[in-house]
Amino acid sequence: MKKYLLAAAGVVAAAVIAAPVAVGASAGTSAATGSATRAPAGQTAPKAAPVKADPAKVTPVKAAAPAADPVRTVRPGERVDAGQGYTVWLTRDGKHWSDPEGFENFRSVVDGNIDRSAPGVSHQSEGNATGVFHSGVYYGTRKAGRVELTDAAGRRTVATLLALPGRPDWGVWYTRTGPVTGNHGGSFDVALYDRRGKLLAELPGFDFPAGRG
């Protein structure tokens, strides 16, 4: 009887001894698993590094270039080569020009022949077998933007504009066209526009001899 009791006691003792080992193994496994998902007690889990987004690429916008001044400023008496042997210059009292042979002419802006209180334009022309030189005075405005010639066929020619420093209320225009028959360029209509393209004044063509107008 004692042998059976001792054997049973041994089995129970073995079971008791084995149980903590099994429990400990389970706890150890759980702890190992927890360490992979949580920080140890008393420590703060490290924060994930923020993902930096690439800054948006911005293409710089170039400022629009200012519009070119349609009127060239010249000094009093400054000679301007108008092409084909013609020269133009301005003084305080008006427009001067010379032809290929050196002959000089003058149109005053202060002798009362033009009314500078309102926009207007004049026209002189000189022609030969090589073409026609056109010029004139525009006046009555400080906002001249364009002088344009139109021939009998509707062809248009834009003139060059000159003015003295300070942009007075008058200036000079000039251009050249091809050779014409008849009145040497007097049949051209002349129109003065401001810088926004508004028509300020018109001068219809006239049948006058070369060099007059």
Q: What is the pLDDT of residue 45?
A: 55
* 6-61 per-position pLDDT tens digit: 444 444 444 444 444 444 444 444 444 444 445 555 555 556 566 565 666 666 66
* 160-169 per-position pLDDT tens digit: 999 999 989 9
* 109-155 per-position pLDDT tens digit: 999 999 999 999 999 999 877 899 999 999 999 999 999 999 988 99
- Give residue 179's pLDDT band: very low, low, confident or very high (50, 70, 90): confident
CA 27 to chain centre: 78
**Running DSSP on this structure, what letter comes out for residue 22?**
H
Better-predicted residue by pLDDT, 83 or 130:
83
Q: What is the pLDDT of residue 13?
A: 42
Q: What is the pLDDT of residue 11?
A: 41
Mean of pLDDT values over 175-203: 86
pTM, 2 dp: 0.66
- Give residue 186's pLDDT band: very low, low, confident or very high (50, 70, 90): low
* 64-73 per-position pLDDT tens digit: 666 688 999 9
The closest of 160, 171, 195, 194 to 116, measured between CA atoms, is 171
Please work out, in degrees rounded to the nearest 5, the angle formed at the alpha carbon of residue 98 by the alpha carbons of 71 and 138: 35
Please tell me the distance from the alpha carbon of residue 105 to that of residue 170, in angstroms, as a whole number.
18
Q: Does position 209 have pLDDT exceeding 50, yes or no?
A: no
E strands, 40-188, are 71-73, 80-83, 86-91, 94-98, 104-108, 120-121, 124-128, 131-139, 144-150, 156-158, 160-163, 170-177
Please tell me the distance from the alpha carbon of residue 186 to that of residue 207, in angstroms, as a whole number.
5
Mean of pLDDT values over 185-208: 87
